[in-house]
Amino acid sequence: MDKSVNENTKSTLLKTGFFNRLETLLPKAVLFPTFAIAAIFIYGFIGWTTWISFTDSRLLPKYELAGFIQYITLFTKEPRWWVAVGNLFIFSILFISICIVIGLLLAIFLDQRIRGESFFRTIYLYPMALSFIVTGAAWRWILNPNLGLERLVQQLGFSEFTFRWLVDSHMAIYTIVIAAVWQSSGFVLALFLAGLRGIDPAIIKAAQVDGASLPRIYWRIIIPSLRPVFLSAVIILMHISIKSFDLVMVLTRGGPGYSTDMPATFMYAFSFNRGRLGFGAASAVIMFLAVMAIIIPYLYSELRGTRNER
């Protein structure tokens, strides 16, 4: 090979080497802003909040560490926190189980070659498009102790009927459950319906050939095969529960008293209204840890699953 050719190849090599490097650098460069955003505004801020939770910050953040004092106060000296945690448990258990029962039942019924299926589906799902604030405003009016449901039933002839859950500190939490179920069960229905549509019809035919009755097919074959959907639904609803803030704020503002407080409203009240930043931060960190304890194992298995598929 003569010299000129050799040099020629060399220069193209250098050029292409540069382009090659550019080509591999470009995606990283384009992704960098997102990387920075995630690093600062997600992970950095979580760290920041965690830091504040270990200080004695009140109205303004201070950065001298003060140990576990906020956490100790939170768990031992603050009855309101325990009310919030207790409410969260009551709320999540009822909210999740009722949503799943309604969602599954309606999904199975809708899966029976129903005339106007999409019409029904549209109705069941529209609350999901609304803000919790709108939902809350509506239910606040419906459950109004004087002019709402109570009076409607009274006017129907049951004059002794009382329905004052919204202002009853023992019952107010259940009004939040009602509104939340109304808003979210259509979504659970959609999840289950998608799951039902994904079941291989041949399995059901096989069961019919085996002589199984319809309820038995559902109970023994179809519902068990929806297990992943159950898992997803529970995780998502649990996630909604822990984050629930809007609905409580608009329906009860955490009241009467602080009887319907939840961790999210607790955190907000202490951080922004009462000027106890360190305390609010500590409750936020606990919420964060609770969510992560649920989400990370779920996410891990989900991601691993999709990776295997590919």
Partner 1 sequence: MRDKTAALAGTSDPATLIGRIIVYFVLIVAAVFFLIPFFVMIMTSIKSMNDIRTGYLISLPREITIEAWVKAWDSACTGINCEGMKNYFWNSVRMVIPSVIISTLIGAVNGYIFSKWRFKGSETFFSFLLLGCFIPFQVILLPMSQTLGLIGLGQSIYGLIFVHIVYGLPFTTLFFRNYYVTIPDEIIKAAKIDGAGFFRIFRKVILPVSLPIFVVAIIWQTTQIWNDFLFGVAFSGSDSQPITVALNNLVNTSTGVKEYNVDMAAAIIAGLPTLFVYIVAGKYFLRGLVAGAVKG
Partner 2 sequence: MASLTVSNIRKKFGNQEVLKGVSLSVKSGEFLVLVGPSGCGKSTLLNLIAGLETINSGEIRIDDQVVNDIRPKDRDIAMVFQSYALYPSMNVRKNLSFGLETRGVPKAQIEETIRHVAQILQISELLNRKPSQLSGGQRQRVAMGRALARDPAIFLFDEPLSNLDAKLRVEMRTEIKELHQRIKTTIVYVTHDQIEAMTLADRIAVMKDGFIHQFDTPQQLYDNPANLFVAGFIGSPAMNFIPCRLVNQGNQTGVMLENKAGRSFFMPVEQHDLDVKKWLDQEVILGIRPERIASGFYEQEGNPMIHEIECIVEVLEPTGPDTLVFVIINDSKVTCRVSPHAVKAPGESMKLMIDMSKALLFDPGTGQRIENQTAGSTGCT
The residues binding partner 2 (CB under 8 A) are 1, 9, 12-13, 16-17, 19-20, 23
Of 231, 158, 229, give the one whose Cα is nearest residue 190. Answer: 229
Instruction: Report residue 88 as tokens.
Output: 């969260």
What tokens appear for 176 in the block?
A: 């939040």
Cβ(250)–Cβ(132) below 8 Å: yes
Considering only the stretches 6-14, 73-81, 85-93, 269-277, report the one whose residues sit in contact with partner 1 under the rule CB under 8 A: 269-277
- In the list partner 1, partner 2, none, the entry touching 141 (Cβ below 5 to 8 angstroms by class) is partner 1
For the bound state, the minimum distance from the C-beta of residue 145 to partner 1, rounded and expressed in Å, comes to 12
Exposure string of 52-91, with b = 16+ CB inside 10 Å and e = fewer, is: bbbbbbeeeeeeeeeeebbbeebeeebebbebbbebbebb
Which of these ranges, 37-45, 75-83, 90-98, 159-167, lies near partner 1 under the rule CB under 8 A? 37-45
Q: Does 293 bind partner 1 (CB under 8 A)?
A: no
**Which residues, in sequence order, are CB contacts of 94 under 8 Å at separation 6+?**
174, 177
Binders in 182-241 for partner 1, by CB under 8 A: 182, 186-187, 190-191, 194, 197, 199, 201, 204-205, 208, 214, 217, 232, 236, 239
Structure tokens at 195: 């799951």
What is the Cα–Cα distance from 272 to 286, expressed in whole angstroms?
18
293 binds, among partner 2, partner 1, none (CB under 5 to 8 A by kind): none
Write each residue from 6 to 35 as x if it is in contact with partner 1 (CB under 8 A), else as -, in one continuous string: -----------------xx-xxx-xx-xxx
CB of 17 to partner 2, least distance (A): 5
* Residue 66 lies near partner 1 (rule: CB under 8 A): no
